[in-house]
Amino acid sequence: MDRIAAAKRALSLLDLTSLESKDDDASTERLCLRASNPEGHVAAVCVWPRLVKQAKSFLKNPAIKVAAVAVFPDGALDRGRMEAETKTILHYGGDEVDLVFPWQGFHDGKQDEAIAQVAGCKAICGSKKLKVILETGELKEPRLIEAAGLAAITGGADFLKTSTGKTSVSATPEAAEILLTLIRKSGKPVGFKASGGIRTLDQAIVYLDMADRIMGPGWASPTNFRFGASSLLDALLAELRGTSVANKKDG
C-alpha cells in the first residue's frame, strides 16, 4: 500500500481521542483544533460525556462527529450508570457512543445481563452509532473474544471496538482478525474500531490491509472502520508533510 495514500486513508478513519482524568474545556479545545488540518480531517473526536457540549461548540467542521464514552473504563454491569451517561452524551449533542462492554461480568457467566446492557444502550442511542468496547486484551482467549463480539452484535452494536487503551494489552492484529471475521460471518452492517496502542502508520497499515483482505477493498470507510488514537495523528501528518523519520534522508 502506498504510504501517502495509506496515511490519507487512516487520517479520515481516525477517532481523535483524549480520555485523561484532567481533561477540561481547554484540553478539549486543543483536541478539536487538531482534528482538522490542510491534509484532511478526522472522522470524530472522542471525549468524556461531560465534555461533549464543549467539543460540539469547538469543532468548526460539521463533518467531524463527536463521540463519548460510557461506563468507561471499567465496563461495570450497571444499568443505571449506563443509562445516565448515555443520556448525557445525547443530551449535549453527541453523535456516537463508545460503551465499554461488561466484559468481567460476561466472563463470570452473566452473558444475558451483558447483552441486555448493550441492548439498553442501543435503545437509548436509536439511530446514533453505538460502538461497543470489548476489552479484548483482558478477555485474551480467542473463543472469549469471539463470544463477546457475538454478544455485542446480538445486543445491537453498530461497531465492535477492541479496547479502552487503559489496559496493558490493547488492540492486537490477532483480536482484529477474530472480530473482522465475525463481522463478515454475521452478515450484519457492523463496523470495526481498532483502539489502543496504535501510534504509527506502519501499525495502521496492518489493520487496513487486514480489513481489505477480510471485508473487501473499500469497506474500511469512516462508516465502517475507525482507529481510536491520539498520537497516531502526529505520525500521519508527519508522513503527509514529508517530515517523518522514514522520509528523512541521511545527512
Given a contact cutoff of 8 angstroms between Cβ atoms, the answer to whether 168 and 137 are in contact is yes
Query: The C-alpha cell of 151 is what?
Result: 454478544
**128 phi and psi angles, rounded to 5 deg:** -75, 145
List for the chain the helix, strand, coil content (%; round to 5).
Answer: 50, 15, 35
Grid cell 465534555 in the structure block, residue:
51
In which residue are the cell numbers 486513508 written?
A: 9
24-57 burial code (b ≥16 CB/10 A, e <16): eeeebbebbebbbeeebbbbbbbbbbebbbbbbe
The backbone torsions φ and ψ at residue 129, rounded to the nearest 5 degrees and listed phi first, read -70, 135
Local structure of residue 228 (DSSP, 8 states):
E
Cα dihedral value 82, 86, 87, 91, nearest 10? 160
Contact 111, 143 (CB under 8 A): no
Residue 159: strand, helix, or coil:
strand
Any idea which residues carry the catalytic annotation? 98, 161, 193
